[in-house]
Structure 1
């Protein structure tokens, strides 16, 4: 109950974006490989940002 109003940290927001991009890339890989590659590249950039914030 106390976590109800807890704001997300920057890392949590980035992790959520990363997971969403991975899901979209997986769905797109069945139809449009170039779109899937683009989404994977964006996900990798977010992963790098997460790594730098964790350090």
Structure 2
């Protein structure tokens, strides 16, 4: 209950965005390959930001 108002760190936000983008890319891969590739590219950009934050720490 006390963690209810805890703010998420930048790393947690990026991790969630990466997981969502990868899930969307997987879902789109069966219907729209171009959109799937775009989502995968977006996920890779997010992953690069995650790596940069982890390497800075």
Q: Could you say which TM-score interval applies, normalised by the shorter chain? A: over 0.9
Partner of 1:19: 19
SS of the residue corresponding to residue 38 of structure 2 reads: helix
| TM-score (structure 2 length as normaliser) | 0.91
SS of the residue corresponding to residue 8 of structure 2 reads: coil
2:31 corresponds to 1:42 = no
Aligned length: 55
- Give me the whole-angstrom Cα distance separating, in 2, the residues matched to 1:38 and 1:3: 35
The root-mean-square deviation of aligned C-alpha atoms, in Å, is: 0.6
After the TM superposition, list the runs of 4 or more consecutive aligned residues in structure 1 that deviate by more than 2 angstroms.
Answer: none
SS of the residue corresponding to residue 25 of structure 2 reads: helix
